[in-house]
Amino acid sequence: MPRRGYHHGNLRAALVEAALDLIAERGPAGFTMAEAAKAAEVSPAAPYRHFENREALLVEIAVQGYDLFCDLMDFAWNEGRPSALSAFMAMGRAYLAFAAKHPAHYMAMFEAGLSVNATPELAAAAERANAVLTRTAAALAQHIPAERRPPPAMFAAHVWAMSHGVVELYARGSPGARAPFPAEELLESGIGIYLCGLGLIPVDR
């Protein structure tokens, strides 16, 4: 993306890219507009042609993160094929892969302290992500006898909570990293046991 003289050409995207690098390296609080501008080889005032302020750039990253997240989750779910169960487990792996490959997006989404209502776009993106997870949970829940079936939103929340917990506590090269097991193994086994509890996986294995 070489500079073409006075005008940059695609500064907005370049700033997002630069911010992603900075956030991945130093966390959402450690990124500054000045450094993002510098990384994009542009004066410190230039970013304000594209983003109203610092938070707006952070919000943009979170929105992109939610969109990417939805895509990856949808892809992993693959409309419940070959089976709802195996597709669901694939989503779990995709969740960890997303957190690992897009740490800055993940941080902007969940650790930057942004209000989901910062902008309508962000609220919509977050809601879409929520809907994807709840929809798949509902599809899988159909295989549970009705009287033992939790509300899909609760089912989804349980799984999301465990996934997020694994990411935060054990997946990130979390400082001091005392992870007792690989994150993938931890999440797979944890969700496996949880699904046993719902009767979705036969008890003996």
Q: Which residues, numbered 24-63, are part of the site for DNA (CB under 7 A)? A: 31-35, 42-50, 53-55
Residue 130 engages a second copy in binding (rule: CB under 8 A): yes
Smallest separation (angstroms) from a second copy to the CB of 48: 23
Q: Which stretch binds a second copy (CB under 8 A): 8-16, 40-48, 92-100, 108-116?
A: 108-116
Q: Which residue's structure tokens are 């899909």?
A: 152
Q: Does 13 bind DNA (CB under 7 A)?
A: no
Q: Encoding tokens for residue 162?
A: 């465990």
- 1 forms part of the interface with DNA (CB under 7 A): no
| The two three-digit tokens of residue 107, written as one number | 């941080």
Single-letter code of the amino acid located at 61: I
100: contact with a second copy by CB under 8 A: no
Please say whether the beta carbons of 122 and 110 come within 8 A: no
The window from 11-19, 69-77, 80-88, 149-157 that contacts a second copy (CB under 8 A) reads 149-157
Q: Which does 2 bind (CB under 5 to 8 A by kind): DNA, a second copy, none?
A: none
Rounded Cα gap, residues 148 and 97, in angstroms? 31
CA nearest to 77, candidates 168, 140, 1: 140
Q: List binders of a second copy among 162-201 (CB under 8 A).
A: 162-166, 168-170, 175-178, 180-181, 186-187, 189-190, 192-199, 201
Residue with tokens 């999301």: 160
Q: Is 94 helix (H, G, I), strand (E, B) or coil?
A: helix
